[in-house]
């Protein structure tokens, strides 16, 4: 697992400021840079350095694949230790695998599959099973209670949180120009003083059209936010625990939003159980500066759930295997 990286005060300000709210205006890096006492070029150079040092995993739009008509699913494998690295390479080679983590459990490899159409999810699962000879256990999302914590440098407190989710609706109609813009930015924005102009030239649009299309996708929920995605381990969150709970199905939709509202929870979902091997239906990602801190956070969740929760586990991450984001 990555250790916290040495960061100066300016790096810390950049990370805290730029996890969302990147302006869809001409010369955006000049505007943000002025807030931080930097030129546009200096800000771009700093961001590139943070990416090169793996303090940031990407900088750009974060797309919500379901609003684009696609699908994503959390899945897991129980991998024999002797084959672990070889299986990780096989899984990571699949473009549909957006994230992959080693976790401390019999199910020791957890990954997110993201595809541009729902049917391709199961093609990807089958491809992994055929390549590895191992069964893929999928845990589809039944309800999304919260996604959106932004991480403060130092691992002490979140920068901010967006509102809890209501039903965000189905897929949004996108035209070919939208898809070309998505493909051009899914790996990140160009780190140049005029990123919209560079994209416009490449895509045969105007800079104004690029901004307008991105703004429309933010408004519709196709883009969750535009900004930096920190490697939370590198900025001081040394412990990452996926806490899973077996909660009474009649109460989970009442309690899930309350868990999602907790300041230390970055993601909270209701997911499908896989009996008899997996009895858990509520998932909450907890982050802290130490394992003890995360265990204390999970104890807080357990008290909130009370007698509605029959059992729980915490699956700590021990290695990032892949973190690339959506590719369509």
- For 228, what's the count of Cα atoms within 13 Å in the CB-facing half-sphere? 32
- Terminal alpha carbon distance of the chain: 28
pLDDT for residue 4 is more than 80: no
Which pLDDT value is given to residue 169?
Answer: 64
Mean pLDDT over 135-149 rounds to 92
- Tell me if 273 sits within 8 A of 281, measured CB to CB: yes
Residue 254 has φ and ψ, to the nearest 5°, of: -85, -40
| DSSP character at residue 204 | T
Q: What confidence tens digit (pLDDT) does each residue in 236-265 have?
A: 888 999 999 999 999 999 999 999 999 899
Q: List the structure tokens of 31.
A: 């505007």
Please name every residue paired with 239 in a beta bridge, in sequence order, or none if there are none.
Answer: 288
Predicted confidence at residue 171, as pLDDT, reads 83
For residue 163, what pLDDT is reported? Answer: 43
Of the candidate ranges 68-72, 166-170, 317-321, the one whose mean pLDDT is the lowest: 166-170
Q: Is 220 exposed, middle or buried (0-12, 13-18, 19+ CB in 10 A)?
A: middle
3-state secondary structure of 58: strand
pLDDT digits (tens, 9 = 90+) for 34-91: 999 999 999 999 999 999 999 998 999 999 888 998 889 999 999 999 999 999 999 9
pTM for the whole thing?
A: 0.84
Residue 170 — very low, low, confident or very high, per pLDDT cuts 50/70/90? confident
Domains detected in the chain: 12-64+175-226 (1.10.10.2890)
Q: What is the pLDDT of residues 267-300, one digit of tens each?
A: 999 999 999 999 999 999 999 889 999 999 999 9
**Greater model confidence, 148 or 105:** 105
Which pLDDT belongs to residue 117?
A: 86
The predicted pLDDT at position 166 comes to 40
Tokens 């868990």 identify what position? 259
Q: What mean pLDDT is predicted for residues 171-184?
A: 94
Task: Give the confidence band of 2 by pLDDT, cuts at 50, 70, 90.
Answer: low
Q: Give the Å distances, CA to CA, from 95 to 104, 112, 118, 298, 327.
A: 25, 11, 15, 33, 7
Question: How many Cβ atoms sit within 10 Å of the Cβ of residue 254?
Answer: 11
Among 324, 256, 319, smallest CA distance to 2 is for: 319
pLDDT of residue 324: 77
Residue 176: per-residue pLDDT:
96
- Is residue 165 predicted with pLDDT exceeding 80? no
CB 68 within 8 A of CB 179: no
Q: How far apart are CA 104 and CA 85, in angstroms?
A: 15
Name the pLDDT band for 118 (thresholds 50, 70, 90).
confident
pLDDT digits over 186-231, tens only?
999 999 999 999 999 999 999 999 999 999 999 999 999 999 988 8
């Amino acid at each position: 697992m990555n250790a916290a990286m040495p960061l100066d005060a300016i790096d810390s300000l950049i990370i805290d400021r730029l996890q969302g709210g990147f302006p869809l205006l001409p010369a955006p890096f000049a505007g943000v840079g002025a807030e931080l006492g930097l030129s546009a070029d200096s800000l771009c150079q700093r961001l590139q350095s943070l990416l090169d040092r793996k303090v940031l995993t990407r900088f750009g739009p974060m797309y919500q694949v379901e609003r684009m008509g696609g699908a994503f699913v959390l899945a897991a494998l129980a991998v024999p230790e002797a084959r672990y690295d070889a299986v990780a390479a096989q899984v990571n080679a699949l473009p549909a695998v957006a994230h992959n983590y080693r976790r401390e459990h019999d199910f020791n490899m957890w990954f997110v599959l993201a595809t541009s159409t729902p049917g391709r999810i199961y093609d990807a699962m089958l491809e992994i099973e055929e390549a590895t000879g191992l069964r893929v256990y999928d845990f589809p999302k039944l309800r999304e209670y919260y996604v959106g914590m932004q991480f403060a440098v130092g691992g002490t407190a979140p920068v901010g949180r967006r509102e809890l989710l209501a039903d965000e609706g189905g897929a949004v109609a996108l035209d070919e120009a939208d898809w070309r813009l998505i493909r051009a930015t899914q790996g990140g924005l160009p780190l140049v003083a005029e990123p919209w102009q560079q994209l416009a030239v490449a895509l045969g649009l105007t800079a104004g059209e690029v901004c307008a299309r991105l703004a429309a996708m933010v408004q519709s929920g196709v883009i969750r936010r535009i900004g930096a995605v920190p490697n939370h381990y590198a900025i001081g969150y040394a412990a990452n625990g996926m806490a899973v709970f077996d909660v009474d199905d009649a109460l989970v939709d009442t309690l899930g939003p309350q868990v999602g509202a907790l300041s230390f929870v970055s993601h909270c979902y209701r997911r499908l159980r896989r009996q008899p091997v997996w009895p858990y239906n509520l998932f909450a990602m907890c982050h802290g500066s130490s394992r003890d801190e995360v265990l204390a956070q999970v104890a807080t969740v357990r008290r909130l759930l009370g007698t509605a929760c029959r059992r729980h586990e915490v699956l700590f991450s021990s290695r990032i295997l892949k973190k690339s984001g959506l590719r369509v």
